[in-house]
Amino acid sequence: MGCGHRFIGSWSTSIAGRWLWGGMGRSWLLLVFVVVSWSFPSCSATPEADALLSMASSWGRTFPTWMGSDPCVNWEGVTCSSGVVIGLSLGSSQLTGPVPPAIGRLTSLTSLDLSNNAIRGPLPPEFAFLQNLQVLNLNRNPLNAPFSTEILQLRNLTELRYDVAGVFGLIPNEISNLNKLEILFLGNNSLVGPLPAKSIGSLVNLKQLTLWGGSFKSPLPPEFGNLVNLQYLNMHTSTLWGGLPPSWSNMKNISRMLLYNNDLTGYVPSSWQALTTLKQLHVGQNALSGSFPDWLVNIPVEILDMSRNSFQGPFPNLSANLPLVNATSTNMSLYCNYFNGSYPTFQLGNLVNFTGNCFTNESTRETDNTRNTCNRPFFCRDFFMRLEDGCAPCPAGNYIYDNKTICTCKPADYVDQSGGGGGFPYGEVIGGIVGSLALILALVALCKWDPIHKRLPFDPFLLFSTNDDDEDWDVPEGVHRFTMAELSKATGHFDREHEIGAGGFGKVFFGTLADGKMVAIKRASTTSLQGQIEFRNEVNLLSRLHHRHLVRLEGFCEDEDLQILVYEYMKNGNLGEHISRAKGSNVLSWYKRLEIAVGIAQGLDYLHSFADPPVIHRDIKPTNILLDEHMVAKVADFGISKATFDFDTHVSTRPAGTAGYLDPEYFLRRQLTTASDVYGYGVLLLEIVTGQQAIDHSRKEEFNLIEWVRPRFRERGVEVIVDAALEGNYDKDVFTDMTNVALMCASFNKNDRPAMKDVVSYLEPHVRMFQSLSGSNTEAVSSHISQLRGSDLERLTRPNPNDYLSSQQFMTVPLHTAANDYSPFNTRRPNTFS
């Protein structure tokens, strides 16, 4: 009941007395007073109520409990103290649109949760009025905006959750203003480097920090050693390089450290033995080297992942009474390294993984005739064993710098933004070149000057003209320039028997080089020849793209007016042949299909998020997915796609692609975005699950695979669409999740599609789980995943705001969604570049 109604109720008991006291002559005055009182309430809704109702209206939401004039009386999501609103919790409330300016009127707010909605950015200037705010949660919203300057003015913040929020650009140095922060979550955005190391390192009150999923291209900051109160650090998959900083030993309270899937190199610092509170250490999928840290056995680390690195030497003798052994009895991952000596004989349970090392008493196989024998499963890094000055090889595009005794590497193209030393002396070299050029030009001009005879204007650039254009172009390092004679000999003079395919670019041949190496040779047709500059730009681009799931460029040939690209040879052909079994190939197992799907997603995520410049493939389909000798999937033909620095909106171009995989919005609007690749991936993923083609006119119920799958999957589940060739041998939950993701990717509206990084985050945990359980049988694995699904169900659907693992929800075992809900993501996922 409103204020005016309460006022009239309080007067109703005295009206009769006043009537008698004043006599009949005054009765009309009382009646007028009653009418006026009912028409104009004696008090109005509070300013805070007005602000909240205005916000709800802007978001198009109606909250049934938001009635009356006092928001402190049973209003959903509203918390009050002393009659003022101090907390607003509207997470997962289906809010759509920008944050309304009216929020600036809630100046007493100390806690604001707007997570898991579809809120767009940027934040309004009025947001800066919330000077009392201590807790702010904007996780999982498609803000698609730079880091908010309004947030930087909220100096009382102790908790800022900004994960998966579509934040792009640099982290501003002014983040040091928020010196009361204890929790800072910035994971899985589109943030780029360099990291503001000193600014973040000054936030000495931090207890939890996430920066995962960025593209920082920075070394790990030694300044983070100042974060002496830090308990949780997550910086995985962020294009970080260099060594593990010894100064981090000052993080005496660190409990969980996640640094996996970067380009980290060098040794684990001995100073880290001071980190006695470590419970989880994840440094897998890097290029770390050296021996296993002996001191680590004395720390009770519960989960230890050092897999897919370059650690070498014998493994220490462990006994059952060591702290590490007691703590990690089922959670130690050391696979895909180069440990040698005797295979460990101690008992650590079934889930400890030592496969893919070089122990003398485990089964081995010959890798090639120039390297040592070692057991290397297909999912391990490329085998090397040879050392350079005592160091393991650097990742592609990196070189060893600083002190070679610690074997750390840095990217060759890295320029220190802070003005510090240690990098390649670009300035000195360029300065010397410019000075020499100026001297040469001056001397030549002087020689050509004739004060008597008039001459044509002198053009100094004619000095460098030549009939050989190659002098103007430095062939990219690591890319071999083949001669026509070499490639002709390798292919039997491009004999038809060597032809293995043809496409829009031209014909493809397989060949054997003089050293015995097999390659795929793609020769451009006369109709697809580019200009010389365009072709060389393409070679430059391809030379910079290095990823396990991209077909590698070996070299090129530009001779006799021909343009030829030479790639690594993929022994097992393309995925289309295996899906359709066109050449009598074996049926792909369900797990191999999962691995292939994740590999393709990782390759596309690299092209979209980490390539420089980013690349849109434009033609994702099974025949452009090639399989190597170990059946590892690699994306091909990205070399004839569009690369651009301007991904903020789109690339306008005429439609190009293949029917069935072509993004409908691309076709209608001529706007190419990364979402176009996501659509093609969704169709491809459906083919992997169903074994059917994208367009099949013999499929009488529905020619289009998406429209064939969608109603069947919704109504009857995955069983009625899965490839019959599997004969029921597949994991139902995994294939249901794959289908959910596929249909989301293949949404008509590009804004409803996830980014490829989200697809990887959703599907990759399935592969990791089965890899970690590789020693168990299929039934045990499936049972274990089912248990994890059940235990994680409530946490994944209703995140605990006090759970610092909430920023990793996409990196845990994913939630199994119902068959009638083909959107596996909590909200509409932002597409970073669309």
Out of 213-227, 583-597, 604-618, give the one with best mean pLDDT: 213-227
The reported pLDDT for the residue numbered 516 is: 86
Q: How far is Cα of residue 329 from the mean position of the Cα atoms in its chain?
A: 31
Q: Tell if the pTM clears 0.85, that is, is over it.
A: no
Rounded-to-integer distance, Cα 523 and Cα 546, Å: 22
Rounded-to-integer distance, Cα 611 and Cα 336, Å: 26
CB 556 within 8 Å of CB 565? yes
| Within this chain, domains 482-568 and 582-755 share the same CATH topology | no
Strand partners, 388: 391
Strand partners, 312: 338
Spatial CA neighbour of 129 closest among 110, 115, 148, 150? 150
Burial status of residue 21 (CB atoms within 10 A of its CB: 0-12, 13-18, 19 or more): exposed
CA distances from 126 to 59, 102, 131 (A): 17, 8, 11
Per-residue pLDDT of 593-605, as tens digits, reads 999 999 999 999 9
Superfamily of domain 582-755: Transferase(Phosphotransferase) domain 1 (1.10.510.10)
Average pLDDT over residues 557-579: 86
Q: What are phi and psi of 568, to 5 degrees?
A: -65, 145
Confidence of residue 684 (pLDDT cuts 50, 70, 90): very high
Domain boundaries, the chain: 3-39, 426-480, 482-568, 582-755
CA distances from 95 to 113, 115, 121, 348 (A): 12, 10, 13, 49
Q: What are phi and psi of 601, to 5 degrees?
A: -60, -40
Rounded-to-integer distance, Cα 505 and Cα 528, Å: 6
Per-residue pLDDT of 139-198, as tens digits, reads 989 898 999 999 999 999 999 999 989 899 999 999 999 999 999 999 989 899 899 999
Q: Give start and end residues of each alpha helix (H) in 449-561.
A: 484-490, 532-543
Confidence of residue 810 (pLDDT cuts 50, 70, 90): very low
DSSP 829: P
- Angle at alpha carbon of residue 103, lines to 100 and 108, rounded to 5°: 175
Spatial CA neighbour of 189 closest among 761, 816, 597? 761
Q: Which amino acid is at 49?
A: A
Residue 561: CB atoms within 10 A of its CB come to 7
Residue 206 clears pLDDT 70, i.e. is over it: yes
Residue 702 clears pLDDT 60, i.e. is over it: yes
Per-residue pLDDT of 36-63, as tens digits, reads 333 333 344 689 999 999 999 999 999 9
CA-based Rg of the chain, rounded to a whole angstrom?
A: 32
Reduced to 3 states (helix: H, G, I; strand: E, B; else coil), residue 733 is helix
Average pLDDT over residues 107-119: 94
DSSP 704: B
Tell me what percent of the residues of the chain surpass a pLDDT of 90: 40
Rounded-to-integer distance, Cα 199 and Cα 517, Å: 50
Rounded-to-integer distance, Cα 29 and Cα 35, Å: 10
Rounded-to-integer distance, Cα 646 and Cα 669, Å: 17
Catalytic residue among 113, 263, 605, 619: 619
The reported pLDDT for the residue numbered 627 is: 92
**Residue given tokens 């033995």 in the structure block:** 273
Sign of dihedral through CA atoms 263, 267, 269, 273?
positive
> Is the omega angle on the peptide bond into residue 613 within 30 degrees of 0, that is, cis?
yes
Residue 198, annotated ligand binder? no
Residue 742 clears pLDDT 50, i.e. is over it: yes
More confident residue, 795 or 303: 303
Spatial CA neighbour of 831 closest among 614, 689, 676, 630? 676
Reduced to 3 states (helix: H, G, I; strand: E, B; else coil), residue 506 is strand
SS3 letters for 11-44?
A: HHHHHHHHHHHHCHHHHHHHHHHHHHHHHCCCCC
The reported pLDDT for the residue numbered 374 is: 72
Residue 644 clears pLDDT 70, i.e. is over it: no
Confidence of residue 788 (pLDDT cuts 50, 70, 90): very low
**Residue given tokens 């997915």 in the structure block:** 625
CB 713 within 8 Å of CB 742? no
Q: What are phi and psi of 387, to 5 degrees?
A: -110, 150
CB 515 within 8 Å of CB 589? no
CATH architecture of 482-568: 2-Layer Sandwich (3.30)
Spatial CA neighbour of 673 closest among 696, 700, 642? 642
CB 140 within 8 Å of CB 826? yes
Rounded-to-integer distance, Cα 518 and Cα 510, Å: 7
Residue 521 clears pLDDT 50, i.e. is over it: yes
The reported pLDDT for the residue numbered 833 is: 29
Residue 19 clears pLDDT 50, i.e. is over it: no
The most distant pair of C-alpha atoms in the chain lies apart, rounded to whole Å, by 126
619 catalytic per annotation = yes
Q: At 608, list the tokens.
A: 């979209």
Q: Over the chain, what is the mean pLDDT? A: 76
The H or E element containing residue 712 is: helix 705-716
- Angle at alpha carbon of residue 728, lines to 726 and 731, rounded to 5°: 95
- Angle at alpha carbon of residue 540, lines to 486 and 404, rounded to 5°: 95
> Is the omega angle on the peptide bond into residue 122 within 30 degrees of 0, that is, cis?
yes
Residue 724: CB atoms within 10 A of its CB come to 10
Confidence of residue 5 (pLDDT cuts 50, 70, 90): very low
**Residue given tokens 């710098």 in the structure block:** 401
The reported pLDDT for the residue numbered 780 is: 43
Q: At 302, list the tokens.
A: 């519960």
Burial status of residue 527 (CB atoms within 10 A of its CB: 0-12, 13-18, 19 or more): exposed
Task: Output 500-505 pairs: Cβ under 8 A, ≥24 positions apart.
Answer: 503/637, 504/528, 504/640, 505/637, 505/640
- Angle at alpha carbon of residue 630, lines to 627 and 636, rounded to 5°: 20
More confident residue, 398 or 777: 398
CB 796 within 8 Å of CB 748? no
Per-residue pLDDT of 361-414, as tens digits, reads 654 443 333 334 576 665 676 666 666 667 888 877 777 776 666 788 888 767
Residue 366: CB atoms within 10 A of its CB come to 9
The reported pLDDT for the residue numbered 329 is: 66
Which DSSP string do the residues of 57-125 spell out, in sequence order? HHTT---TT--SS-TTTT-TTEEEETTEEEEEE-TTS--EEEPPGGGGG-TT-SEEE--SSEEESPPPG
The reported pLDDT for the residue numbered 776 is: 43
Q: At 510, list the tokens.
A: 């397989």
Residue 771 clears pLDDT 60, i.e. is over it: yes
Strand partners, 134: none
Burial status of residue 88 (CB atoms within 10 A of its CB: 0-12, 13-18, 19 or more): buried
The reported pLDDT for the residue numbered 147 is: 96
Per-residue pLDDT of 426-474, as tens digits, reads 444 444 444 545 545 544 444 444 443 333 333 333 333 333 445 457 7
